[in-house]
């Protein structure tokens, strides 16, 4: 177990979840990158090296980033302040999996992505659209405060969007375990 501290938040993390070797020394950090595999959010093992190195469109790997963030915003504030100015239709449209899809204006810089929001306090998911030059698109669960001055972001393959709630629960469970 590695003892880490991010902006006053103490964590005890098994080394097999820590992506960067340099962070395995522990101590105070501004950021910590973690890695886990779906569906059970297990950490890296040498026997699954090829799985954890995979970047295919259906890769089960979830990349998790904890970082010091003095400007953390809740989901609704982030949606209104950061993304709504670039959304084509502010009402959005019902999408699968209990989500609302917001399409970006083509001139926004986000034109090759979709933004998904859940009802309640679920994450905002910024998902790359599949394209010939992007055969392995990701979904990014955007900065969410987990403590004063600390935000959580995680990334998984768009192929797993149907299971976003399971991914979110798994990430939240891991972070909760690491904070004990």
**Confidence (pLDDT) at 34:** 96
Q: What is the pLDDT of residue 160?
A: 97
Q: Which residues of the chain have pLDDT under 50?
A: none
For the record, the structure tokens of 166 come out as 């399971």
> What confidence score (pLDDT) does residue 24 get?
85
State how many domains the chain has. 1
Using CA atoms, how far apart are residues 39 and 50, in angstroms rounded to an integer?
17
The reported pLDDT for the residue numbered 42 is 96
Give the model's pLDDT for residue 180: 78
Torsion sign across C-alpha atoms 62, 63, 68, 73: negative
pLDDT score, position 21: 78
- The whole-number pLDDT of residue 145 equals 86
**Amino acid 135: pLDDT:** 87
φ, ψ for residue 83 (rounded to 5)? -100, -35
Domain of 116, in residue numbers: 2-179
- Report the C-alpha gap between 118 and 139 in whole angstroms: 14
Which residues have CB under 8 Å from 165's CB, separation 6+?
97, 98, 118, 122
Residue 4 has a CB neighbour count (10 Å cut-off) of 22
Dist CA 165 CA 97 (whole Å) = 9
């Amino acid at each position: 177990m590695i003892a880490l501290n991010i902006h006053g938040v103490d964590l005890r993390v098994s080394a097999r979840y820590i992506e960067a070797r340099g962070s395995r020394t522990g101590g105070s950090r501004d950021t910590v990158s973690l890695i886990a595999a779906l569906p059970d959010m297990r950490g890296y093992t040498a026997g699954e090296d090829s799985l954890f190195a995979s970047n295919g469109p259906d890769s089960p790997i979830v990349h998790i980033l904890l970082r010091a963030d003095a400007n953390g915003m809740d989901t609704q504030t982030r949606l209104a302040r950061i993304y709504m100015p670039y959304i084509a239709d502010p009402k959005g449209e019902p999408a699968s999996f209990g989500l609302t899809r917001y399409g970006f204006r083509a001139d926004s810089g986000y034109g090759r992505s979709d933004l998904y929001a859940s009802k309640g306090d679920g994450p905002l998911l910024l998902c790359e659209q599949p394209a010939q030059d992007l055969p392995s698109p990701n979904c990014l669960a955007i900065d969410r405060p987990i403590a004063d001055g600390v935000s959580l972001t995680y990334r998984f393959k768009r192929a797993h969007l149907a299971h976003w709630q399971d991914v979110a629960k798994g990430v939240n469970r891991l972070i909760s375990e690491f904070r004990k």
